[in-house]
């Protein structure tokens, strides 16, 4: 039985060898048949386009549309009570620091100052007389010609007059200060954006009069979704544009992140202090981009290269016409590109179009894009 099996194997092996030889002779004498077989093998290859794994910097920018506000906008109020005898400015007027805005009638304060001056002169005369009286009493005390109580009373009157003189001088200083406050002046360079009074109005201490806004320094108030609170912080780069000055882009940094979330919009406020490029206006809208993340040395592939398989996310690395499946971990997804955290190296060739039809070890035909 064993001899029979060995004989059959010998015959079979000889037959295969003869068939292989005959096929080779057939293709040798018939090149068209060989080309047909080659075309069939190519037809079984999957056509794909390829690219190389790149290393590049990835920036994540979040956008917001907010409003420009003046960084400094003092509300100027009356510091003394009285009737306005003049208003020198109108809404929209540019003003310089120290420029006269309005005038309060100073007569009452001038009279108070004059009365204080008169009191000072009277007290100075009384003081001179009292000092002479005290000196005489002291001389009499040396000869026992007066009592000690008389001297004490004279010195007490002298001290009282000195205190009254100090009080009168303070009243004069206060009157002069009030007179200076009747001139209402601008504390900053800016523009009059609000006027609440007219000539002839009676104002009290604290009555709001004008709103002056500075245009040299502005702040952009930008709302962002509450989900970005953990990513936003001071110092992040910002790029801003405003429709009031087309083509002008300003680069700055986040100055403040207000952590309180507004109930109406469920957003957080980001404040950016910025110098006015010259054309921006308080109250105008502003479009901003804030960079919330930076991956300076990331590996990236086109998003078509990352395929979801039962084993997870994979890419197909092309090696000598064969697709090799590589499991990968991904990071950022930006501009139709995917960051690869693990699984491939920079410079490797991966399949792009057609990657979804590949399996591990499949033959591929690389097509030009």
pLDDT tens for residues 335-346?
899 999 999 999
pLDDT value of position 22: 41
- Length of the chain in terms of residues written: 369
pTM of the model: 0.61
Within its chain, how far is the Cα of 255 from the centroid?
A: 5
pLDDT score for 151: 87
Report the CATH number of the 107-180 domain.
1.10.287
Determine the CATH number of domain 63-72+215-294. 2.40.30.170
pLDDT of residue 369: 64
Question: What token pair was written down for 12?
Answer: 């079979």
Tokens of 147: 């009592």
Main-chain phi, psi angles of 106, to 5 degrees: -95, 5
Which pLDDT score, from 0 to 100, does residue 31 have? 53
Helix, strand, or coil (residue 136): helix
20-24, 178-182, 227-231 — most confident range? 178-182
Residue range 290-311: mean pLDDT, rounded: 93
Domain with CATH 2.40.30.170 in the chain: 63-72+215-294
* pLDDT-based confidence at residue 361 (cuts at 50, 70, 90): very high
Alpha-carbon distance of 228 to 226, in angstroms, equals 5
Q: Please tell me the predicted confidence (pLDDT) of residue 334.
A: 87
Indicate the helix (H) or strand (E) that contains 285. strand 285-302
pLDDT for 3 beyond 80:
no
Per CATH, the number for 46-58+296-366 is 2.40.420.20
User: According to the model, what pLDDT value does residue 252 have?
Assistant: 95
pLDDT tens for 209-240 read: 999 998 889 999 999 998 898 899 999 999 99
The lowest-confidence range among 3-17, 88-102, 300-314 is 3-17
pLDDT exceeds 80 at position 360: yes
3-state helix, strand, coil in the chain (%, to 5): 35, 40, 30
Average pLDDT (127-148) is 87
Question: In which residue ranges of the chain is CATH 2.40.420.20 found?
Answer: 46-58+296-366
**Residue 115 or 368, more confident:** 115
The interaxial angle of helices 2-29 and 31-43, nearest 10 deg, is: 100
Residue with tokens 């029979």: 4
In this structure, what DSSP letter does residue 210 have?
A: E
Report, as an integer, the average pLDDT of 247-263: 88
pLDDT (mean) for 248-256 = 95
The pLDDT of residue 125: 94
Binned at pLDDT 50, 70 and 90, residue 264 comes out as low
Residues of the chain within CATH 1.10.287 domain(s) are 107-180
- Span of 24-38, 208-222, 277-291, 345-359 with lowest mean pLDDT: 24-38
| 18, pLDDT greater than 80 | no
305 CB neighbour count, 10 Å cutoff: 27
Helix (H, G, I), strand (E, B) or coil at 123: helix
Instruction: Answer whether 281's CB lies under 8 Å from 259's CB.
Output: no
Quote the mean pLDDT of the chain: 87
Contacts of 97 (CB under 8 A, 6+ apart): 186, 187, 188, 189
What's the pLDDT at 278? 85
Positive/negative CA dihedral, 230, 232, 236, 238: positive
CB 185 within 8 A of CB 211: no
Q: Tell me how far apart the alpha carbons of residues 46 and 366 are, in angstroms, rounded to a whole number.
A: 8
* Segments of the chain assigned to CATH 2.40.50.100: 74-105+182-213
Q: Is the pLDDT of residue 243 over 80?
A: yes
Q: Does the pLDDT value for residue 172 go beyond 50?
A: yes
Confidence of residue 261 (pLDDT cuts 50, 70, 90): confident
pLDDT for residue 2 is more than 60: no
Has domain 74-105+182-213 been given CATH number 2.30.36.70? Answer: no
Over residues 152-169, the mean pLDDT reads: 94
What confidence tier does 311 reach under pLDDT thresholds 50, 70, 90?
confident
Q: Per-residue confidence at 44, pLDDT binned at 50, 70, 90?
A: confident
């Amino acid at each position: 039985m064993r001899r029979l099996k060995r004989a059959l194997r010998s015959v079979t092996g000889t037959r295969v060898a003869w068939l292989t030889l005959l096929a080779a002779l057939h293709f040798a004498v018939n090149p068209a048949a060989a080309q047909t077989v080659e075309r069939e093998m190519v037809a079984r290859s999957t056509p794909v386009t390829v690219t190389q794994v790149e290393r590049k910097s990835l920036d994540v920018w979040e956008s917001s549309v907010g409003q420009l506000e003046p960084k400094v906008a003092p509300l100027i109020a009356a510091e003394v009570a009285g009737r306005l005898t003049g208003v020198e400015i109108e809404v929209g007027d540019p003003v310089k620091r120290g420029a006269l805005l309005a005038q309060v009638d100073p007569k009452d304060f001038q009279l108070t100052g004059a009365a204080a001056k008169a009191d000072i002169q009277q007290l100075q005369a009384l003081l001179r007389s009292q000092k002479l009286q005290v000196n005489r009493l002291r001389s009499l005390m040396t000869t026992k010609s007066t009592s000690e109580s008389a001297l004490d009373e004279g010195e007490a009157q002298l001290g009282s007059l000195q205190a009254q003189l100090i009080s009168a001088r303070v009243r004069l200083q206060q009157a002069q200060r009030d007179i200076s406050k009747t001139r209402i002046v601008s504390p900053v360079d800016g523009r009059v954006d609000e006027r609440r009074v007219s000539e002839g109005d009676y104002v009290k201490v604290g009555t709001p009069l004008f709103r002056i806004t500075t245009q040299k320094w502005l702040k952009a108030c930008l709302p962002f979704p509450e989900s970005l609170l953990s990513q936003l912080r001071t110092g992040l780069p910002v790029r801003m544009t405003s429709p009031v000055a087309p083509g002008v882009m300003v680069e700055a940094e986040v100055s403040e992140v207000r952590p309180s979330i507004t109930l109406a919009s469920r957003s957080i406020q980001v404040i950016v202090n910025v110098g006015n490029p010259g054309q921006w206006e308080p109250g105008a809208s502003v479009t901003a981009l804030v960079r919330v993340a930076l991956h300076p040395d990331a590996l990236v592939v086109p998003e078509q290269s990352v395929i979801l398989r039962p084993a997870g996310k994979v890419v197909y690395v092309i090696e000598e016409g064969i697709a090799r499946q590589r499991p990968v971990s991904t990071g950022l997804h930006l501009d139709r590109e995917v960051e690869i955290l693990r699984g491939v190296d920079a410079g490797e060739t991966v399949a792009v179009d057609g990657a979804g039809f590949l399996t591990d070890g499949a033959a591929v035909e690389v097509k030009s894009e």
